[in-house]
Amino acid sequence: MTIRSRLPALLCACALGALAPFSAQAAPDKALEARFDALIDPALMGSWLKTMSAQPIHVGAPHNKANAEMTLAQFKSWGWDAKMEVFQVLYPTPLEVKLELVTGPGAPFKATLSEPPIPGDDTSTRIKDELPAYVAFQGDGDVTAPLVYVNYGMPADYDALERLGISVKGKIAIARYGAGWRGLKPKLAQEHGAVGAIIYSDPRDDGYSTDDVYPRGAARPPGGFQRGSVADMTTFPGDPTTPGYGSTKDAKRVSRQDAETILKIPTLPISYGDAQVLLKALTGPVAPAAWRGGLPITYHVGGGDDAKVHLKVLSDWSLKPAWNVIATLKGRERPDEWVMRGNHRDGWVFGASDPLSGHVAMMNEAKALGALAKAGWKPKRTIVYTSWDAEEPMLLGSTEWAETHAAELKKKAVIYINSDSNGRGFLGVGGSHAYQHFVNQVSADVTDPQTGVSVRDRLRAALAVQGVEQPANPRATALGRIAADPSLDLPIDALGSGSDYSSFLQHLGLAAINLGFGGEGESGGVYHSAYDTYEHHSRFVDPGHAYAGALAKVAGRMVMRLADAETPQQRYGDFAATVAGYLTEVKALADNRRDEAMARTRLLAAGAYRLADDPTVSRGDPPPLAPSPKLDFAAMDAGLARLEVAAASFDMALASKGANLTPAQKSRLDAAILPLEQRLLREKGLPFRPWYKNMIYAPGRFTGYGAKTLPGIREAIEERRFDDATTYIALTALAITDYATGLDAATAVINGG
């Protein structure tokens, strides 16, 4: 369910300025990789894509099952040891959806809630058994209440509403997509007392304001809407009724009423064609400038009795099967070290871009690896390819599988490499920062289909130009400076959530990488709509499936190099430098929060807010902020120093002695390194969400997909939970110190221990 921004997807952020020194790793097998590349076939991927996206492929749909069976059969035919692993997951489907404007100008008006076929798009003419407008794990209900526009429906929007004197209590909130993850919108509306929620796609964000609408262009047409899941991912993903354990056939289940991640209020997504009628009916204050979208109306906040809507959602809450396909190519030397690769297979309707564009690349990799294996190549380690089902409703397939096999994975999994939607443009990679240099090496060896330079050099050029063209954007200029120096690695992103790596990285503490191309081919306008079709994808997102080829070549190289590596590919100095960058950020954040509280206090005392306000618009004073203590970061400073020394020692030892290790040492080194990332976990997890255990990487509680790094510390400061901040400074320091200890043990192996 990945969605990509319009800007070049960046290898980015975080550890700005990673040096690329010593590199004693054995050279990759270039001849093998050339043979692999020759087996990547865009036309073949295109034909799979067409077949697999010919009918709706949501969870439980017949064509989804057919695709699972085809994938299984193909893997087997390519020589893999493949099997179907089925889970019984709670997956609600709509029995009745209804949305009407019952009072106000334009009433009565009945929202469409289904997507009309698009001329020239054959697939869309087969819209029939698709899911209507629906978001999974909303709360069912039948309510009639005044409508309030809440902008993106994020916390700051509710602060603004409060200053306008508008409450959502007992009302139905309408939010636009964007700014934060979908599921936060009804969740926050519910927490503020709303009895229902509507989410619409504003044309400013992915409709006619961004591009010609489909079929003339790639953007969202007036009748298109975005389905999705609103299960409370920020608490935990997976089946809401089996928290932390697998949804196997006989699993004990929490009742729907007690399931923590199922919302309590009915929620529907709608098109901007429908939203325009509802929003036009609103009165009350004119919406703040930043709240206005691209509809040809004046946006009002509403909230009065003059515009009421009737919202009804009734769902079938039965269990449905999730068909995961798990395929193995057994390693010749270290069968119990698994290099894992996955992509989900289920979609919301036809799912051509999301997820099949990534899935077919993964299939081609598997076919090529199978052919190489048949021709005699045997990987040193075991390779595991996974075709996940039920990702869309909330990472169900991968999460239930990972929870079921947690113990084995913690023993055996070297890394999990994920992809999802893919399109034309620039390589974007996020993941565990010890792999940053490895990612740079791989991406320097794959050619960009449009320009003929390496995908890394193309991204380097884009970042360098962006840095110069956006002088007022500090992040862009910092990245631009790195990109302009070819001796520096490009940074990789931290991972939040939104695709199947989440359980592996954040729950089990395994190393993970997520990758994909994008930024030029645009699927955002049809994201989770019935128009994400083969026709749309082939015309607008990845013509000729050239970037499916590029994805297969990057991901395939990662798999082969990690499966065959003589010694670890990680460089821990990059991880330490990244953590150092995060620590600098959270210290600045703490200072900023303190300054903010002092400024608020001073301005309130001076009556400045009331004097600055337009008295004809009823804004009150903002609430006072409790004084922010000066936080003591000494434990983190010490932990980081410890980590930096351990990382430098390891990297130097490996660089100088890695080539001369005995087979026994190599084996012991692998054994020491494999569980290392798990030391970043705290068993009791993060505040409010024990499922998320990684002290370095988490999805943000109030961003959703967007990552929060050093989350225990950072979110506590952001939310002014200063006691938690102090607690998590200690806990995070403990984790990185433990990590350093583990790293020292690995260094000792290299040094002859």
Question: Among all residues, which ones are annotated catalytic?
Answer: 391
Q: Distance between CA 168 and CA 149 in Å, rounded?
A: 9
Whose Cβ is closer to a second copy: residue 525's or residue 742's?
525
Residue 303 or 393 having the CB closest to a second copy: 303
Burial class (CB in 10 A: 0-12, 13-18, 19+), 170: exposed
Which residue lies nearer to a second copy by CB, 546 or 648?
546
- Rounded Cα distance, 309 and 145, in Å: 6
- Helix/strand/coil (H/E/C) assignment for every residue in 366-395: HHHHHHHHHCCCCCCEEEEEEEECCCCCCC
CB of 517: closest distance to a second copy in angstroms?
A: 13
Q: How far is the CB of 745 from a second copy (least distance, A)?
A: 44
Closest contact distance (angstroms) between CB of 603 and a second copy is 6
CA angle (224 as vertex; 107, 355 as ends), nearest 5: 150
Smallest distance from the beta carbon of 414 to a second copy, in angstroms?
34
Binding site for a second copy (CB under 8 A): 6, 8, 203, 208-213, 217, 219, 286, 289, 292, 294-298, 425, 450-451, 453, 457-458, 460-462, 464-466, 468, 471, 484, 520, 592, 596, 599-600, 602-603, 606-612, 614-616
Contacts of 238 (CB under 8 A, 6+ apart): 247, 394, 395, 396, 399, 400, 403, 503
| Residue 176 vs 344, nearer CB to a second copy | 176
Q: How far apart are CA 29 and CA 16, in angstroms?
A: 30
- 595 CB-contact burial (10 Å; exposed 0-12 / middle 13-18 / buried 19+): exposed
Q: Taking a C-beta distance cutoff of 8 angstroms, is the pair 694, 509 a contact?
A: yes
Distance CA 436, CA 575 (A): 8
Beta strands 267-270 and 196-200 are parallel
CB atoms inside a 10 Å sphere around CB 593: 19
Determine the Cα–Cα distance for residues 345 and 352; give it in Å rounded to an integer.
10
Query: Closer to a second copy at the Cβ: 249 or 610?
Result: 610
User: Could you tell me if 499 and 420 are in contact, meaning their C-beta atoms sit under 8 angstroms apart?
Assistant: yes
* Least distance between a second copy and beta carbon 372 (Å): 32
Query: What b/e readout covers 627-665, taking b as 16+ CB neighbours within 10 angstroms?
Result: ebeebebebbeebbebbbebbebbbbbbbebbeebeeeb
Locate tokens 């997951």: which residue? 89
Q: How far is the CB of 50 from a second copy (least distance, A)?
A: 22
Q: What does the alpha-carbon distance between residue 361 and residue 549 come to, in Å, rounded to a whole number?
A: 7
String of DSSP letters for 578-631: HHHHHHHHHHHHHHHHHHHHHHHHHHHHTTHHHHHS-TTS---PPPP-PPPP--
What 3-state class would DSSP assign to 100? strand
Nearest distance in Å: CB 443, a second copy = 14
DSSP state of 468: H
Residue 385: both structure tokens together? 């390819």
Whether the CB-CB separation of 503 and 399 falls below 8 Å is answered with: yes
Going from the C-alpha of 419 to that of each of 58, 140, 387, 430, 556, the distances in angstroms are: 18, 33, 11, 11, 12
User: At closest approach, how far in Å is the CB of 599 from a second copy?
Assistant: 4
Shortest Å, Cβ 518 to a second copy: 12
Minimum distance from residue 602 beta carbon to a second copy (Å): 7
CB closer to a second copy out of 463 and 696: 463
Distances in whole angstroms, Cα of residue 571 to Cα of each of 644, 680, 743: 12, 16, 11
Nearer to a second copy, 588 or 659 (CB): 588
Q: 344 has which bridge partners?
A: 388
The distance of closest approach from Cβ of residue 184 to a second copy in the complex, given in angstroms and rounded to an integer, is 23
The string of DSSP codes covering 384-431 is EEEEESS-TTTSHHHHHHHHHTHHHHHHHEEEEEE-----SEEEEEEE
Burial class (CB in 10 A: 0-12, 13-18, 19+), 38: exposed
CB of 556 to a second copy, least distance (A): 24
Is residue 693 within 8 Å of residue 687, measured between CB atoms? no
Tell me whether residue 603 or residue 655 sits nearer to a second copy (CB atom).
603
∠ CA 319-325-328, nearest 5°, is 150
Cβ proximity to a second copy: between 520 and 744 the closer is 520
676, HSE (Cβ side, Cα atoms, 13 Å): 33
Q: At what angle do helices 546-564 and 42-52 cross, to 10 degrees?
A: 110
Amino acid (1-letter code) at residue 544: G
